[in-house]
């Protein structure tokens, strides 16, 4: 049932990377519970603009939970308290009239501040560049099913490939570790025949890049898995660990 609610926002405002930020309080009045969280911020931004103030900067693109651009920490929870949901798919019906909502950006050394709720997640792109791909020469399209893949394996690879690279796992991890993201990207390739030839160099390169970018070390806290909007499982992290042992300690690659 649609109704309208009034909430109070405490939003992290920061003009740029190297200036001091802080919380500002704004009322969000007459918000339809059918709105998404981002639409609610749009409303507040409209009012801020009318008042001659700087609107709240935040990242977004598809607004349908598939691109991985949105994300913020809502009352201490990444993408809000709903399970398996991106911020753009979080609806205002999950809030009550009179609520105070604290909104903070992802916080990690590897995700430097850009502005307000926007952080620079290009560190993820660098991890992918280090080895999150397969090198194939283009040629004639191969016949479908020319390489048989067991259904269970295909499912696992698809589950890992569901990662949208939003960064909530890093934001949720007490150590700001990127292991869930990296393990999903390593798994989606390592599970499939096409990914196997480069599995060794990939595991070493991606883990080394992850460390170099100043992400923390995984200590199996499992907060990432609980907060991931795509519910990526930490069994992928165990797979990364196995791939790494194979690559680093028993493979022929130096």
Partner 1 sequence: MNGLTNPLGTSVGKKLMMAVTGLAFCCFLTIHLAGNLTLYGGKDFFNSYVEHLHSLGSLVTLAELGLLFFALIHVLTGMLLFYQNYNARPARYSVNKRAGGRTLGSATMPYTGVILLLFVIFHLMNFHFVDKTNTTTFQLMSNAFASPVYIFIYTFAVIIAAIHVSHGLWSAFQTLGANHPKYTPFLRGLSIVFSVVIGIGLGFIPVYVSLLR
List residues binding ligand FES (CB under 6 A). 60-63, 65-70, 86-88
Q: Least distance in Å: CB of 175 to ligand HEM?
A: 7
Q: What's the rounded Cα separation, in Å, for the pair 112 and 109?
A: 6
Q: What's the rounded Cα separation, in Å, for the pair 12 and 116?
A: 6
Q: Least distance in Å: CB of 50 to partner 1?
A: 28
Number of residues located near ligand SF4, criterion CB under 6 A? 14
Site for partner 1 in 164-183 (CB under 8 A): 172, 174-177, 179
CB 162 within 8 A of CB 232: yes
Q: Which of 9, 78, 184, 192 binds partner 1 (CB under 8 A)?
A: 78
Residue 155, SS3 per DSSP: helix
97 binds ligand HEM, rule: CB under 6 A: no
Burial of 18 (0-12, 13-18, 19+ CB in 10 A): exposed
Q: Least distance in Å: CB of 121 to ligand SF4?
A: 9
CA geometry: angle 84, 231, 32, nearest 5 deg: 10
218 binds partner 1, rule: CB under 8 A: yes
List the single partner that 165 binds among ligand FES, ligand SF4, partner 1, none, CB under 5 to 8 Å by kind. ligand SF4
């Amino acid at each position: 049932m649609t109704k309208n609610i009034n909430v109070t926002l405490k939003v992290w405002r920061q003009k740029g990377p190297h200036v001091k930020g802080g919380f500002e309080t704004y009322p969000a009045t007459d918000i339809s519970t059918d709105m998404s969280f981002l639409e609610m911020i749009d409303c507040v931004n409209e009012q801020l603009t009318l008042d001659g103030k700087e609107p709240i900067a935040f990242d977004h693109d598809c607004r349908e939970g598939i691109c991985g651009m949105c994300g913020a920490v809502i009352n201490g929870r990444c993408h809000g308290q709903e399970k398996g949901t991106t911020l753009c798919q979080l609806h205002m019906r999950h809030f009550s009239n009179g609520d105070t909502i604290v909104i903070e950006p992802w916080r990690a050394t590897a995700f430097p501040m850009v502005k307000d709720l926007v952080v620079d997640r290009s560190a993820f792109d660098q991890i992918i560049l280090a080895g999150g791909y397969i090198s194939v020469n283009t040629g004639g399209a191969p016949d479908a099913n020319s390489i048989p893949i067991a259904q269970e394996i295909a499912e696992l690879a698809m589950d890992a490939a569901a990662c949208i690279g939003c960064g909530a796992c890093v934001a949720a991890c007490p150590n700001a570790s990127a292991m869930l993201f990296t393990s999903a990207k390593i798994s989606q390739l390592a599970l499939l025949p096409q990914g196997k030839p480069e599995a060794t160099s990939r595991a070493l390169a991606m883990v080394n890049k992850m460390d170099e970018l100043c992400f923390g070390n995984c200590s199996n806290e499992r907060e990432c898995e609980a907060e991931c909007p795509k519910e990526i499982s930490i069994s992928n992290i165990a797979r990364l660990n196995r791939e790494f042992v194979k690559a680093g300690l028993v493979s022929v690659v130096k």
